[in-house]
Amino acid sequence: MNETEQLIKRFQELAEKAYARDICLFTNFLNLNELDLFYKNENSFSYIDTDTFGGAMYCERKIIRFGNLNLPYPVSCIHIRPVLKKFSDTLTHRDFLGALINLGIKRETLGDILVCENEAYVFCLNSMADFIIDNLDRVKHTVIKCRKTDQIPETILYNIKEKKLNSASLRLDAVISEVYDYSRSQSQQIIRDRKVFVNGRLCENNSYTVKPEDTVTVRGMGKFIFDSVINNTKKGRYNILVKMFI
């Protein structure tokens, strides 16, 4: 049994157990490819309520909930900050993730890591929160402090920059070309390489028409929200507004 088959089987086991016992069960954090596998097989679980959540809106790594949708997700948020910020190393997403993994923490117990100005907000399973707080005391050479929090600054949750662009069409490949300054053929290759997700679902259709509020993730490049068409030009092109995650 390959990894894909094992994951589908795991989804089935959780759904069937939650339904049979009338309880609520959760997966660990899943990446975009794993979530897409769930979405593609979602009809198989139509007999039970399901939804997904990663700790905040626009999180990429999410948990699936099978059963009672009124029960809270087992997700905590840990704020990690340098004790002496002016003496801190420059800390990146990779640095924070590496420090957590070096503690022996498995990636599937961690959600998104939001980084800004050498601080991080880490979503994790409730079961890992106290372990992280008790054991993580350094990232690179920087001494840090950890605490649980329910208050995440909007500037970090929604670190977005608006960008106005001119696109030949509203096709996915055309919009990606403008957003990331690619040629049309490069954008099409990225889509063929299965690196593009729309609203958390893998999209392999170059001609997909992007719609307002679509969230597009391009692996290795970033993420943006297609906001709106501002107007049409006399040459039949589109002036569009996108919101870039930075």
DSSP state of 61: S
Task: Please give the Cα distance from 55 to 62 (Å, whole number).
Answer: 8
End-to-end CA distance of the chain: 39
- Run of H or E including 26: strand 25-26
Tokens of 10: 């795991």
pTM: 0.90
At residue 44, the 3 state secondary structure works out as: helix
Give Cα 99 to chain centroid, integer Å.
20
Q: Does the structure show a pLDDT above 80 at 187?
A: yes
Predicted confidence band of residue 68 (pLDDT cuts 50, 70, 90): confident
Q: Does the structure show a pLDDT above 90 at 11?
A: yes
Mean pLDDT of all residues in the chain?
95
In the chain, alpha helices (H): 3-21, 32-40, 93-101, 126-135, 154-157, 172-180, 184-192
Predicted confidence band of residue 133 (pLDDT cuts 50, 70, 90): very high
Q: Within a 13 Å sphere around the CA of 108, how many CA atoms are in the beta-carbon half?
A: 8
Tokens of 90: 């420059």
Predicted confidence band of residue 180 (pLDDT cuts 50, 70, 90): very high
For helices 184-192 and 172-180, give the axis angle rounded to 10 degrees. 110
- Residues contacting 94, CB < 8 A, separation 6+: none
222-238: average pLDDT: 94
Q: Which residue has the higher pLDDT, 52 or 68?
A: 52
Task: Please give the Cα distance from 24 to 175 (Å, whole number).
Answer: 40
Can you give the pLDDT at residue 190? 97
Can you give the pLDDT at residue 86? 86
